[in-house]
Amino acid sequence: MKRQKRFEVLAARPVNQDGFVVEWPEVGLIAMGSPSDPVPSIKIEQGRVVELDGIPRAKMDFIDQFIADYAIDVKKAEKAMAMDNLAIARMLVDVNVPREEIIQVAGGLTPAKIVAVLNTMNVVEMMMALQKMRARKTPSNQCHITNVNDNPVLIAADAAEAAMRGFDEMETTVAVVRYAPFNALSMLVGGQVGRGGVLIQCALEEATELQLGMRGITAYAETISVYGTENVFVDGDDTPWSKGFLASAYASRGLKMRFTSGTGSEVQMGYAEGKSMLYLEVRCIMVTKGAGVQGLQNGSVSCIGVPAAVPSGIRAVLAENLCTTMMDLEVASSNDQTFTHSDIRRTARTLMQMLPGTDFICSGYGGIPNYDNMFAGSNWDVDDYDDWNIIQRDLQVDGGLKPVSEEAVIAVRNKAARALQAVYRELGFPAITDEEVEAATYAHGSKDMPPRNVVEDLKAAQEMMSRGVTGLDVVKALAKNGFEDLANNVLGLLKQRVSGDYLHTAAILDKEFNVISAVNNRNDYRGPGTGYRISPERWEEIKNISQAVKPSDFDI
Amino acid sequence: MVEQKLVEDIVREVIKSMYQESAAAPAAAPAPAPGLSPERDYPLAAKRPELVKTPSGKPLTAITLEKVLNSEIGPDDVRITPQTLRMQAEIAEGVGRTQFAQNLRRAAELTAIPDNRILEIYNALRPYRSTKQELLDIAGEMETKYNARINASFVREAAEVYERRNRLKAE
């Protein structure tokens, strides 16, 4: 066929490098409304759920049973289940119905019923609902800090910059597993340079992640995955009971934690049982609720390529975020993994959470160049900092970040690198040279860093664990080397695990280490003039970008 | 408007049942500060610092840089106590977060179990790791050695479910 020139131009557009697929319900390649999704039902006998969405108790898989026994309030269920789908959907959108009222109803719904409600809503309605239903009144943001070489000096510098730019939580992971203790240490030191009170985590295999938390090197955990079918749950090497126990184990050490799940993981792992992605994800959300975890990272997360390939997939991602808030859980709403070549598409996907605001809009935003992201690249990264800031300014929306000056960034990056240098010296780890400090201060990414002796680093990282280095050792090392402010900040973070205030739903810390959570900062949105409003001070921060010209710039 | 009434009914019922539950609750270990309220007492560190102690009984204000440097404060002092976890559970109940509160109560029991044993029990609860008897033994250990009753019944329940769903280790 002779090619039509316009079609040739379109074929070359970035969006046409993306993958798309038609709906294929039999294998679960359907975002919402699979013909195999169960019909909502509930039967309660003697205070116990004996039938859930058409499945009698004897035939329930372990997820059904866990949801039936832990996630559904049997006192509310029959009345809530009798309500019309549209009536519940309208309550979600209606600014006159307070959040608390919806939480009461949602607590009595089964997974299939929740899906039936969400199926009636368009994305604008879901965004309205999300604005009201998110747990914490003040929205926030989280970032990723990693690099391909696990360069510890660079991690500290990037963490410092990201904290200064406004992220309240920061997550690292590893290129090489054995580097984990070092990556976590860099985050701990660097993060507190950028802003005291930033919470940090290191995503690893479950048991190792817990261990770092117990030692006081990390402040919270997130990579505790749950899945929507029993086979995939078992493939993930867990059950709702093992994960529920793990949740309590974290709390018993005073550590904040959330679970992780997302649409598409079951299809990707080959056991979707013909159910829609959203239905399976709602089961994950309810397992999280039942386990008594305060929050959930969801929004497809690392499986975003799957829902993004099918019709209404990005709508399903918004729906799963909304469902999380309906369960009264903190939502860290993904917007992380790269899924498209199109700048237009990646922006549209994020506006669903950025405009209404969530507890963490991204989880996370790449605080590093895309090539350094060991979570396989983020939908947003350092190259987009100014775009993000200007979108906030254009729409007067709080996306959690703020413009910063080059001088200030250079200063915190340098201080973070020097602080880590001191800690390494004090703890007897392989030296960080002044050349490395200088490189990390001015670097964009790991390509700008001199190489380190990886073998020596790994040996020392191993030693850090076997010697039992704790957060308090870091405090001492900082204080002994003239970084008393940082020592106090790290200690401030460790103190959180004594009071346990930050275990609560959607907790973050301000720069004075005050806890801001969905207990003392509850979302009270009830329409215009209520809920979170950008304060005059915050608006000054957002609107004053250095790119804007002022009348005084003109020589008239 | 029918729905509006339905919702009101539900809210009323819930409030009623919450009162009944708290009245009927068994008088277990004496609560350190009964009736903590989210509005009045949270965050504990700021509003009720006198209630928060380290495992060795030191007040929160004793955790200072100076004391860390002269080793008066060690790693065991920056840990949460079961009492504090139960107080936080009360706060959670005060904002209607029943399941979260229950998690904190399980956690309060787990403070008694050493780190390594916690990790081992977690691994034992993973699929195909344990026989039914092994899980029941863990439950027994939790109950007798650590007085972790809620956790023990949680593990017993897991043993039953794993048996029904064929997720136990082959014997």
Q: pLDDT of B13-33, one tens digit each? A: 544 544 444 443 443 444 444
Domain with B146 in it: 113-171
Nearest CA-CA distance, residue A168 and chain B, Å:
18
Query: Annotated catalytic, A222?
Result: yes
Both B84 and B140 in one domain: the answer is no
What pLDDT shows up at residue A7?
A: 98
What pLDDT shows up at residue B26?
A: 40
What pLDDT shows up at residue A552?
A: 86
Given a cut of 50, whether residue B167 has pLDDT beyond it is: yes
What pLDDT shows up at residue A206?
A: 82
The parts of chain A modelled with pLDDT lower than 50 are none
CATH assignment of the domain containing B133: 1.10.1510.20
Boundary (domain end) residue, out of B65, B81, B112: B112
* Cβ–Cβ contact B159 with A under 8 A: no
Both B4 and B45 in one domain: the answer is yes
* Cβ–Cβ contact B83 with A under 8 A: no
Residue range B74-119, pLDDT digits in tens: 999 999 999 999 999 999 999 999 999 999 999 999 999 999 999 9
Both B37 and B4 in one domain: the answer is yes
Contact A71 B13 (CB under 8 A): no
Query: Token digits for A357?
Result: 């605001």
**Long-range CB contacts for residues A51-58, cutoff 8 Å, separation at least 24:** A52/A110, A52/A111, A53/A110, A53/A111, A53/A112, A53/A113, A54/A112
B52 contacts in chain A (CB < 8 Å) = 498-499
Nearest CA-CA distance, residue A515 and chain B, Å:
7
Query: Annotated catalytic, A51?
Result: no
What pLDDT shows up at residue B35?
A: 85
Name the β-bridge partners of A43.
A51
What pLDDT shows up at residue B19?
A: 44
Residue A225: closest CA among A178, A181, A175, A291: A291
Query: Token digits for A441?
Result: 């201060």
Both B105 and B129 in one domain: the answer is no
Both B95 and B162 in one domain: the answer is no
- Residue B25: Cβ within 10 Å count: 9
Query: d(Cα B77, Cα B95) in Å, to the nearest integer?
Result: 29
φ and ψ at A112, to 5 degrees? -65, -35
- Prediction pTM value: 0.94
Residue A251: closest CA among A203, A294, A207, A199: A294
The amino acid present at A509, given as its one-letter code, is L
Contact B92 A504 (CB under 8 A): yes
Nearest to B13 among A75, A83, A234 (CB): A75
Residue range B43-85, pLDDT digits in tens: 999 999 999 999 999 999 999 999 999 999 999 999 999 999 9
Query: Token digits for A322?
Result: 């909304």
Helices B149-164/B132-146 angle, 10° precision:
180
Q: Which residue has the higher pLDDT, A149 or B4?
A: A149
What pLDDT shows up at residue A478?
A: 98
Name the β-bridge partners of A142.
A169
Both B70 and B16 in one domain: the answer is yes
- Residue A93: Cβ within 10 Å count: 16
Both B59 and B13 in one domain: the answer is yes
Number of domain units in chain B: 2
What pLDDT shows up at residue B21?
A: 42
Query: d(Cα A301, Cα A13) in Å, to the nearest integer?
Result: 25
What pLDDT shows up at residue B34?
A: 60
Both B102 and B126 in one domain: the answer is no
Q: Which residue has the higher pLDDT, B34 or A377?
A: A377
Both B76 and B139 in one domain: the answer is no
Boundary (domain end) residue, out of B112, B128, B159: B112
A188 contacts in chain B (CB < 8 Å) = none
Residue A219: closest CA among A250, A180, A246, A194: A250
Both B10 and B67 in one domain: the answer is yes
Both B103 and B128 in one domain: the answer is no
Both B165 and B120 in one domain: the answer is yes
Residue A206: closest CA among A286, A260, A163: A260
B11 contacts in chain A (CB < 8 Å) = 101, 104
State whether ipTM is beyond 0.95.
Answer: yes
Boundary (domain end) residue, out of B71, B89, B112: B112
Query: d(Cα A172, Cα A180) in Å, to the nearest integer?
Result: 9
Given the residues A37, A222, A238, A457, select the one marked as catalytic: A222
Query: d(Cα A331, Cα A342) in Å, to the nearest integer?
Result: 26
A-proximal residues of B, 113-142, CB under 8 Å: 113, 115, 118-119, 121-123, 125-128
